[in-house]
Structure 1
Amino acid sequence: MQKKEPKYLTIIQALETELNSSKFKKNDPFYSESDIKKRYHVSSTTAVRVLNQLAEKKYITRIQGKGTFVSKFNLSTSVRITDTHPYDITQETVKILDAHLTDKVPSIYGKNYKDYVWSIERIREVDEPFQYSKSWFDQSLLSAEAIENSIHVNSVYELIKEHSQIDMYKQQFVQNYIVTTAPTTKISKLLNLSSTDLLIREERWVKKDNKVLEYTDSYQLPKYFGLHIVSANA
């Protein structure tokens, strides 16, 4: 006999469906504990459990003394994010510092990953060096010949497209940004920084069919960094 799903999970699924629809907009008031008790005929304990789990999933925000509100990052909010490049990109150049095959990969590839990957270090410059990046690319994406000639090409993605016919810009990706200082003396010297100067750190993961194609860890001078974010919601 199939075990019946706990009622609180059924309620959560129903509310997630509502939150992912156009019924709610960001920052709208959400159902209270009392609302959920009356609507689904459940106890206070169950109602609180439902709200807490929705909050943990970032669907809602609970503010003591004010109520519960739809998170501004709920899944129905679609946004478009664009790098603004507050500099003349036609003047940008890229210098390859190092490129080689290695079996030493970041933890994102998983403990059981045994294949070699391309390790590529780059410096981007305009009037000065402004970004250091180190990337690990799946070995199949590039050839040794392409890497040898890469000093003449600003975009590794273009090399990949030419070699493997994979458009990296169209693959699933995740990017994280934080403000930090240079993690090594090498990066400080390359970007002409002191140990206390701030940088924008960007981590980027690119996957295809759940396989990691790229992991990049980069550090950029703040004055060369910008993002433009537009919500698709009315």
Structure 2
Amino acid sequence: MSVPKYKEIIDVLNEELGGGKLHQGDKFYSESEICSRFNVSSTTAVKVLNVLQQQNKVTRITGKGTFVAKENHKSVVLYTDLNMSNGHSEGVKVLNVEIKDDKTVLKKMGLHSSDKYLKVTRIRCIGEKTSQYSVSNIRLDYIDKNKLDDDSNFDSVYSRIKEDVGLDPYKLPYTQKTTISKVKDSNILNYFNRTNNLYVYQERLTYLPTVDSSILEYAYTYKLPEFWGMETESVFGGNI
């Protein structure tokens, strides 16, 4: 099956954006320039620009044109999670450890619809306050099933995996997305004992060191903003 023309153009332009030909804040190609360069209609050119804007690769400013987005994309930076406990004691409570077969999660993890996985639900507290609610969905074959009877065995999911199979998840590749969101599930909200203000929401996929990059863990976390911080450093400078 042939690739639609607009997708071919997007691939070409993304290569230019990622290859150093165009830089953050540079003037981007106009609708007419795309039409002329790729011999396509105005409708196709508009679609290309709309998709690139949705991907946050370009910014369209009324009356001025289209520009390369100033936000960083796949930039190499030094990243540090900041401990915001301010000297208060920290603790973890395991709420539940159970074997599940939710089809949505199985699909997210690339597992067969007949497979099962381990779901570990925990909260983290700073002092007397719940600061984090997290769920880790893990491939069952990386957990010693003899440990499932005692929830305290899962205070640290990564330590559990390392002890059971000798694999250190902290050294595995992962992708993580961080956004600001409201908690829609009232059961989760109850643990925070507060009104539904905005929370830091993180979703992470941790990959196994295999040829097909199978997924070891699919995790998601809600955090109170006052207990979350990050610091990044780049040798390439920044942008304003």
TM > 0.5: yes
2:203 is matched with 203
**Cα pair 2:182 2:196 within 8 Å, conserved:** no
Match of 2:156, as an amino acid?
S
Under a length normalisation based on structure 1, what TM-score does the superposition of the two structures give? 0.77
Offset, 1:229: 3.4
1:106-121 equivalences under 5 Å are 107-110=104-107, 112-121=112-121
**Cα pair 2:117 2:138 within 8 Å, conserved:** yes
1:171 is matched with 173
Distance 1:53 1:219, change over 3 A: closer
Runs (4+) off by over 6 Å: none
**Cα pair 2:178 2:200 within 8 Å, conserved:** no
Does residue 1:233 correspond to 2:231, yes or no?
no
2:83 alignment partner, one of 70, 74, 85: 85
**Cα pair 1:118 1:136 within 8 Å, conserved:** yes
What count of residue pairs does the alignment treat as equivalent?
Answer: 228
Offset, 1:230: 3.8
2:215 is matched with 212
Does residue 1:101 correspond to 2:99, yes or no?
yes
**Cα pair 2:122 2:135 within 8 Å, conserved:** yes
Name structure 2 gaps, 5 residues minimum: none
Distance 1:11 1:173, change over 3 A: closer
Under a length normalisation based on structure 2, what TM-score does the superposition of the two structures give? 0.75
Offset, 1:182: 6.2
1:180-199 equivalences under 5 Å are 180-181=182-183, 183-185=185-187, 187-191=188-192, 193-199=193-199
1:63 is matched with 61
What does the per-residue CA deviation read over 1:188-214, in whole Å, with 9 as the maximum and x for residues that have no partner?
4433x1343443333323333353322
SS in 1 for 2:182: strand
**Cα pair 2:78 2:233 within 8 Å, conserved:** yes
Measure the CA separation in 2 of the matches of 1:182 and 1:7: 39
CA-based RMSD of the aligned residues comes to 3.4
Distance 1:44 1:231, change over 3 A: farther
- The farther-off stretch of 6-15 and 159-168 is 6-15
Does residue 1:223 correspond to 2:226, yes or no?
yes
- The structure with more radius of gyration: 1
1:155 is matched with 156
**Cα pair 2:106 2:115 within 8 Å, conserved:** no
Distance 1:151 1:108, change over 3 A: closer
What does the per-residue CA deviation read over 1:5-36, in whole Å, with 9 as the maximum and x for residues that have no partner?
87765544433222111232212211223444
